[in-house]
Structure 1
């Protein structure tokens, strides 16, 4: 699949004579590299392909609030969940490329979903705007789980293949693929139970109906003692839960490539994309941003359009290989 998602500058052809007068009558010509002087002059929409309350919703609203205050215009968050996040992604891909529609989503929606199921979008339908955050991954168990570390859980799962369950917010999400990669590395069999979103899966984890999750959205519950943290997936411990050891400390290692990024529909004016990328960078660097995001197990990790576009292409190839080797199919 061709994934030419590079940021491309548009060309403007100015005709002389009568046509030139017509253009002047229509409005001022915008200098290359600058957003239109009147942008934005109406509300901006940020689509997220997941329901309210989950990690995607949290990061989208955080960024929307920061950018709204900076631009002095409303930034409306539109939750468009369904079909493993493909409904919202397709909606965003078909939105008008007028500089007022953007898409905030995690790795799985654009770099994973096309390899799992038939979808009505490709990477070519989007322009990368900016990478926003990366995630402190977290392995979480129900409160009454009889194990305190991931290493202890692995030993028990080896002794009882298929006895334990793990939840995800959908087939092919980073949460799901993290479990697949770790279970393969540990040589254990754990039953996958997919949900429509993180809130639903966490509710069942807290209710004892599921054994483990690989979703950082559980962080506040772990801090509150309502769930049990078994491991963090990053090389360093999460400063919010410093007593929870890393997977690496327990003899495991994994590359989840978990990020949240902003996209625009293909054809969005390059100058607007550049301006929105600058606003995103400002939001990620704003006072208190790191501490606020840590509460959701995220941290600011900005990349501009070109670097982010390259990352998306590389991650798409990475997950394609995993999905094909493991023969992962959408339910």
Structure 2
């Protein structure tokens, strides 16, 4: 090879390396399989909902999505590394609230809330109060009456301290004018096991927790706007006079270097899947509540949730 050809080839290689992989037209994206990182272990709500999406991804894009797990530090390990990934659109990551607001407020999580780039929040799992099927408490009011007569004696098992369950319990105490005791466990599974084993009076867990328990648990109230299709006989807190709606929101994020058109395209794909009747049925049957917080709505939504969770963090002793 002549010196001139060598220079030309080297220049071409350098030029191709300098051209970002995302230079393709976003309208044709994706043209190959994508990687979907879940920042938790397999089997949890984040994994289940992503698996439901995975089944629809190829139908809506013509390409597969491959799920990988990167658990650690309650999701912080993966989120702290998100921006190290190439922003070509081909790697997306699950993202959760209130985790990504509360973790940086509590201390050095390896990332800040504003470092992350969520493009779509597609569902949430509402908080709910559970008791065993043979519990003396058949209604929420009965539990409230007992809690008022016995301050601190009602114990709630929940998934982790300083979590959506913990925030929900504090909100319930304030709204109902009671004092209860929150008992944190390492995850949804152990906290539900504690309720079933009557280690606590009740559980302040996600509504999805009831799906695998059959008739062993009784749900007294759920923090959704409307009654859930999976639990048509369970009243909402709002029905019972308490303005309590919330739980853990889950969505999809991308590296900060991802260009705007690809961010919007990925949000559009998630929105299409969210509207698919098969996906809707799977999610609702599984106890999830669909949302459709698209990329264009993200700044206002994150600002709103940051304000709400920052206020709740004060009650948890975070950031003081």
- Tell me if both proteins adopt one fold, taking TM over 0.5 as the criterion: yes
What CA distance in whole angstroms lies between the structure 1 residues aligned with 2:85 and 2:21?
23
Contact 2:100 2:113 (C-alpha < 8 Å) held by counterparts: yes
- Secondary structure of 1:318's aligned partner: helix
What CA distance in whole angstroms lies between the structure 1 residues aligned with 2:255 and 2:209?
32
Equivalent residue number for residue 328 of structure 1: 317
Equivalent residue number for residue 34 of structure 1: 25
Shift, 1:286, TM fit: 0.9
My pick for the range that moved more, 27-36 or 234-243, is: 27-36
- Secondary structure of 1:60's aligned partner: helix
Shift, 1:209, TM fit: 2.3
- Secondary structure of 2:73's aligned partner: coil
What CA distance in whole angstroms lies between the structure 2 residues aligned with 1:299 and 1:255?
11
Contact 1:92 1:101 (C-alpha < 8 Å) held by counterparts: no
Equivalent residue number for residue 216 of structure 1: 207
Match for 1:57 among 47, 65, 69? 47
Equivalent residue number for residue 255 of structure 2: 265
After superposition, the C-alpha distances for 1:45-68 in whole angstroms (9 at most, x for unaligned) are: 222233222222211222233224
Change (3 A) 1:253 1:37: closer
Shift, 1:163, TM fit: 2.2
Shift, 1:275, TM fit: 2.1
Q: Does 1:132 align with 2:122?
A: yes
Shift, 1:89, TM fit: 2.4
Match for 1:274 among 247, 253, 264? 264
Counterparts of residues 157-196 of structure 1 (less than 5 Å): 157-196=147-186
TM-score after normalising by structure 1 = 0.82
Counterparts of residues 31-180 of structure 1 (less than 5 Å): 34-35=25-26, 39-41=30-32, 43-180=33-170
Change (3 A) 1:119 1:45: same
- Secondary structure of 2:252's aligned partner: strand
What CA distance in whole angstroms lies between the structure 1 residues aligned with 2:68 and 2:163?
20
Shift, 1:305, TM fit: 0.8
My pick for the range that moved more, 121-130 or 29-38, is: 29-38
TM-score after normalising by structure 2 = 0.84
What CA distance in whole angstroms lies between the structure 2 residues aligned with 1:279 and 1:141?
39
After superposition, the C-alpha distances for 1:76-104 in whole angstroms (9 at most, x for unaligned) are: 22333333332232243443323222121
Q: Does 1:311 align with 2:311?
A: no
Shift, 1:314, TM fit: 1.6
Equivalent residue number for residue 284 of structure 1: 274
What CA distance in whole angstroms lies between the structure 2 residues aligned with 1:95 and 1:32?
16
What CA distance in whole angstroms lies between the structure 1 residues aligned with 2:22 and 2:252?
24
- Secondary structure of 2:277's aligned partner: coil
Equivalent residue number for residue 5 of structure 2: none
CA RMSD across the alignment: 3.0
After superposition, the C-alpha distances for 1:226-250 in whole angstroms (9 at most, x for unaligned) are: 2111012223222322221221232
Shift, 1:130, TM fit: 1.2
Contact 2:53 2:279 (C-alpha < 8 Å) held by counterparts: no
Structure 2 segments unaligned to the other structure (5+ residues): 1-7
Contact 2:56 2:279 (C-alpha < 8 Å) held by counterparts: no
Contact 1:131 1:301 (C-alpha < 8 Å) held by counterparts: yes
Equivalent residue number for residue 4 of structure 2: none
Contact 2:132 2:217 (C-alpha < 8 Å) held by counterparts: yes
Change (3 A) 1:100 1:29: closer
After superposition, the C-alpha distances for 1:16-70 in whole angstroms (9 at most, x for unaligned) are: xx9xx959973999998932857443x4222223322222221122223322443
